Amino acid sequence: MVALTLSGVPLYAIQLNLPTRFVLITALVLFVLLAVMLTASVVLRALHLRQEKWQEKLRNHYYPLIFSYIDSSITLEEFNSHIHGTHLGYQTLQEMLMEMIQDFSGHEREKLQELYETPHLYNHNAEMLAGSRRMPKIEACVYLRNVSHLTEAVLEYLYALLNSSDATQAYSAAAALMASPDPAIRAWGLYHMSCRQDISTMAILELFYLFNHQHQEQMHEEGYHLREIIKDPGTTDSHAAVLIKALPEIGYVELADFIYSLAENDDRFTGNPELMEALITTLGTFVYYEAAGLIRSNIYSPWTTVRRACAEALGYFGEQHDLEALYNLLYDDSFQVRLHAVRALLKNGEQGEYMLNNYRRNKGVYATEVSATIQFELLKTEL
Amino acid sequence: MREIAEQILLWLEPFNWVLLAYFIGINTFYLALIAMAAVYIYFQLRSKQVHSLSGLFNSKLYKPISLLVPAYNEEVSILSSVEALLQLQFPDFEVVVINDGSSDQTMERLIDYFQLEPVQMPIPLVIDHAPIRRVYHSKIYPELMVIDKENGGKADSLNAGINSCNKELICAIDADSILESDVLMKMLRAITEDENTIAVGGIVRVANGCTIEDNVIKNISTPHTFLGRIQAVEYLRAFLFGRMGWDYINSLIIISGAFGVFSKLAVQQVGGYQKHSVGEDMELVARLHRHYKEKGEKYSIRFLPEPVCWTEVPEDWITLGRQRNRWHRGLADTIFRHWKMIGNPRYGLLGVVAMPFFLIFELFGPVIEVVGFIYFFLLLIMGLFEAPFVLMFFAAAVLLGMVVSVAAVLCEELTFRRYPKVRDVLVLTLYSFMENIGYRQIHSWWRFKGLLDYLKGDTGWGKMTRKGVATMSGIMTRDRGDTKQSGNATQAESPDEAAAGAKTTGATHRTSTGRWTALKAALTQFGYWAVVYTVGFLLALLTYHVLRDVFF
């Protein structure tokens, strides 16, 4: 019947005029497409179910092996000999280990990490990284993010990817480098990303936190590299600004002198509102007293963001002339500046409150707003 | 008589070409969107781990989010909605509920349950909105703020929320929507990927049929009603293809009002939501595009298919008709407000491709479809047209609709597989077929009517009847009629209607308006079956013609 129809349709089509023939062909193409898609739907679900089943099988195969290795019942070689040498086999093991590493701690975690960095998995991902296809490269980088000891060959591939025109590839390579125990290698990745316009400041912030390994003995070296990255002319202004602002969050206190020198002398930084705001905010957070004068001199800056940063920073110092400067900022045109000035004064206890009451008594232009802000801020503190 | 008809036919000949051009144009667009979206989703999913965030959340410098929840007469569901929002996984966010002068107990319930305390708070009036009566802060949830303001509509409430909130990003959501717990984390990915992202939309899926506990989706399933299922397919198609495809060429013009994240600064720069628009969500996105293109600043407006917002869809013909009518008026409003962008190369692909597409195929598409359907049918009846051509044309049009819908289901199968049961996939596939016979024609009629209403100057929201999202601690399964809620709430989405006392308890409403509504429902049902039978008849006729000519 089908064969008869298929042989009959072309004969029928020949008899038709051109528009009808066109529509008939379109309808037939759509019909075939529909049939293909329906078949694909069914096939895909079947494949998915098969893969799920297979993955389940692999998981059941791996779990006892992993726990045996943790209990030292089997050696690494023995474990390796049981790894299923397919992409799915590696992928399943990788995912399982990653989940388990997050759930375990101490000795067990170390053992799991050893399995994660086992040559089989590592080599499989290194091969993917060396290949020419984009997605496997990215997947390999995601794996390498949690591998601390990278071989020279892999490092070479990652360095090459840093310069890729594809931002996603470059970022994934940089993120992979962040797992390295060597601060210089991590700094190289962070530096390359800081110079790129197509990498967001949020991504830089994420890398910054990956860059810091929370080892006290590395803080000095990390600080050195950060200093170099920040002052490098290749680093974009936005990225330099976010790195500067993030410094106090990790506690790179020894960079305070460097930050102050930039705010005082460096034309690139003093002439840019984004960078200047970052410098002043950081100096305030570091409570770097030598910078108080510089900050006070900036309260009449033409840039609102800089004045707002000044208001925030002066709150940390609390000297009489700092409070006076804050009092002056209560008359600022910008709501944000006034809001931060109120907050900063409130931070300074009785003295600050005295200034605020003074402002209200003198019926400053924004007295009502300042009263409301005070009440709101006090309530927030209470909560 | 026949001569006159033939004369008319001759006079109408250009219309045939309009129909053919429309057919070819829409096919090309849809197929291109399908291709782009499929590739794009595939790559996005595989590279999503690149921007999985970990260290960033240790910092205070990442972008925090304010959730803006406009509420108007939401006493039934407001507590559970807000409670659920407060449980979202995100390190720094606040929930700002804006009570838009509700005439029910919404405000009182919020005050009692969340132990709200009035505070004096300076609110800069960056965007204009109706006066705020009071601002409240919760004693038990520091991150909850409630703004009690005079009635001004949804857009006005959102504007008040934008002025009052304290975070860099805003997320506008409907009070009756359910967000998945990690949704904000996922949305932040778009901003981490691209510095210049000013707005991000997530996928909206149909919650009807799912099992919901404490405003959390526990079991995902397809809806149990005909209209619910049809809409499940529609939503898949609209989000997985439409929006992904447009996102691919940075021409996304719709971010659903039920769920979207925006840069507060960007929204303030363009003057906030447009108060007098029924499609304020789409209008805002169009205005953002226009503003940034005209200023020549880099920006991007993104759509991510992973963050999911579940929403309840209407399951009766009248409410659905009203909703689609309003959506179409919203589209018309946006298109006419931003007429200047259409075909204008200054606005890039958005101006040259997306806007003309929305004008021709989305705005005027229903006109062509409704008129074309009637036209073909009349010609066929009068015997003035070559039957095989008409019928095959019609079959091709229906088949195309099926291809696009089945492609959406296939795409879901390739990527997210949110419906775990094979049965659900089969149901969706089946409804991809059924949607094109009957429902599509009725849908075109609603949209056609929407365009006419817009031209007549109708800017009302229309009354929306919903069953409600969930109870505070109970379990609610939608659709089966076993709602463990004290009663169904008919939400008047228009303030004017509410003022006129439109709130009702659904089942007991038997006024003259109720009779008219029932009559309209019956007529729509009748219309649906009439179309189904007509289409069925035409297809049978086609089969007969083809088989006759092929075999005999």
B219 forms bridges with which residues in the sheet? B211
d(CA B310, CA B419): 13
Rounded-to-integer distance, Cα B165 and Cα B329, Å: 30
Contacts of A232 (CB under 8 A, 6+ apart): A191, A194, A195
| Tens digit of each residue's pLDDT, chain B (552 residues) | 667 767 776 777 777 778 778 877 887 788 888 888 888 887 777 666 666 667 677 777 888 999 999 999 988 888 988 998 998 988 889 999 999 999 999 999 999 999 998 887 778 888 889 999 999 999 889 899 999 999 998 999 999 999 999 899 999 998 778 898 888 888 888 888 888 999 999 999 999 999 888 778 888 999 999 999 999 999 998 888 888 889 988 899 999 888 899 999 999 999 999 988 888 999 999 999 999 999 999 999 999 888 999 998 998 888 999 999 999 999 999 999 999 999 999 999 999 999 999 999 999 999 988 888 888 777 777 776 666 777 777 778 778 888 888 888 888 877 778 888 888 888 888 888 888 888 888 999 999 999 999 998 876 655 555 555 443 333 333 333 333 333 333 333 333 333 333 332 333 334 445 566 666 666 666 677 777 777 677 667 666 766 666 655
Q: Which of B99, B85, B88, B103 is nearest to B146 (CA)?
A: B99
The pLDDT of residue A16: 64
Angle at A372 between CA A367 and CA A375, to 5 degrees: 125
What single-letter DSSP state applies at residue B324? H
**Cβ(B240)–Cβ(B412) under 8 Å?**
yes
A157 CB within 8 Å of a chain B CB: no
Tens of pLDDT, residue by residue over A167-203, are 989 999 999 999 999 999 999 999 999 999 999 998 9
Residue A311 has pLDDT above 70, yes or no: yes
Mean pLDDT (chain A, rounded): 87
B308: tokens are: 């999911």
**Residues in chain A closer than 8 A to B414 (CB atoms):** 44
Which one-letter DSSP state was computed for residue B116?
Answer: E
Contact B281, B256 (CB under 8 A): yes
Judge whether A357 is closer than 8 Å to chain B, CB to CB.
no
Residue of A nearest to B62 (CA): A202
Give residue A13's pLDDT: 58
> What is the number of CB-based contacts under 8 A between chain A and chain B?
157
Phi-psi region of B383 (alpha: psi -120 to 50; beta: other; left: phi over 0): left
CA distance A38 to A42: 6
Residue tagged 């009959």 (tokens): A8
Which uninterrupted H or E stretch holds A380? Answer: helix A367-382
Considering CB atoms only, which of A15, A20, A202 is closest to B63? Answer: A202
Q: A39 touching B, CB under 8 A?
A: no
Strand pairing category for B93-100 and B65-71: parallel
Q: Indicate yes or no: CB of A138 within 8 angstroms of CB of B46.
A: yes
What lies within 8 Å, CB to CB, of B180 at 6+ separation is B217, B307, B308, B309, B310
Cα angle B509-B510-B512, degrees, rounded to a multiple of 5? 120
* Residue A96: predicted pLDDT: 93
Instruction: Tell me the two tokens of residue A257.
Output: 């002198």
Q: Nearest Cα to B471, choosing from B204, B207, B75, B89? A: B75
- What is the rounded CA–CA span in Å between residue A326 and residue A339? 11
Q: Which two tokens stand for residue B129?
A: 């909105």
Crossing angle of helices A87-103 and A106-116, rounded to 10°: 160
- B132, B136, B137, B143 alpha-carbon torsion, rounded to 10°: -40
- Of residues A361 and A18, which shows the higher confidence score? A361
Angle of CA points B263, B288, B450, to nearest 5°: 120
CA distance B1 to B9: 12
To the nearest whole angstrom, how far is the Cα of A142 from the nearest Cα of chain B?
A: 6
Closest Cα in chain B, distance from residue A6 (Å): 10
Residue A6 touches chain B, beta carbons under 8 Å: no
Closest chain A residue by Cα to residue B45? A135
Q: With contact defined as beta carbons under 8 Å apart, do B395 and B542 qualify?
A: yes
Nearest residue on chain A to B547, alpha-carbon basis = A5
Indicate if the alpha-carbon torsion angle B529, B534, B537, B539 is positive or negative.
negative
Instruction: State pLDDT tens for residues B172-228.
Output: 998 778 898 888 888 888 888 888 999 999 999 999 999 888 778 888 999 999 999
Find out whether A299 and A328 touch, Cβ atoms under 8 Å: yes
What's the CA gap between B275 and A316, in Å, rounded?
43
Alpha carbon distances (Å) from A329 to A31, A155, A367, B124: 72, 52, 13, 17
Establish how many alpha carbons lie within 13 A of residue B440's alpha carbon, considering only the half-sphere containing its beta carbon: 22
B63 contact A CB<8A? yes
pLDDT given at position A272: 93
Chain A residues in contact with B142 by the CB 8 A cut-off are: 380, 383
Do residues A291 and A283 make contact, with C-beta atoms less than 8 angstroms apart?
A: yes
Please give the pLDDT value at position B550: 60
Which residues on A lie below 8 Å from B54 (Cβ)? 206, 209-210
Helices and strands of chain B, counted as H and E runs? 19, 15
Does residue B196 or residue A44 have the better pLDDT? B196
Give the residue from B115, B139, B124 showing the smallest Cα distance to A372. Answer: B124
Cα(B527)–Cα(B355) distance, integer angstroms: 32
A4 vs chain B: nearest CA distance in angstroms? 9
Task: Give which of A75, A113, A107, A77 is closest to A94, Cα–Cα.
Answer: A113
Can you spell out the DSSP letters for B134-182? EEEEESS-TTEEEEEE----HHHHHHHHHHH--SSEEEEE-TT-EE-TT
Q: Is residue A232 within 8 Å of residue A191, measured between CB atoms?
A: yes
B417 has a chain A CB within 8 A of its CB: yes
A278-309: pLDDT as tens digits: 999 999 999 999 999 999 999 889 999 999 99
Distance of CA A165 to CAs A161, A169, B247, B542, Å?
Answer: 9, 8, 21, 55
If residue A44 lies in a helix (H) or strand (E), which one and from where to where?
helix A18-70
**Tokens found for residue A366:** 């924004």
Token output for B139: 């004693």
Residue environment code for A115-137, b if the CB has 16+ CB neighbours within 10 A, otherwise e: bbbbebbbebbbebbeeeeeebb
B60·A383 Cβ contact <8 A: no
Cα–Cα distances in angstroms (integers) from residue B474 to residues A127, B216, B309, B312, B477, in the given order? 53, 11, 20, 17, 10
In chain A, which residues have their Cβ closer than 8 Å to the Cβ of B400?
Answer: 30
Tokens of A273: 């509102």
Taking the CA of residue A15 and the nearest CA in chain B, the distance in Å comes to 9
- CA atoms of A82 and A125, how far apart (whole Å): 18
How far is B387 from chain A, CA to nearest CA, in Å?
Answer: 10
Q: Which of A56-70, A306-320, B529-543 has the lowest mean pLDDT?
A: B529-543
Q: Is A363 exposed, middle or buried (0-12, 13-18, 19+ CB in 10 A)?
A: exposed
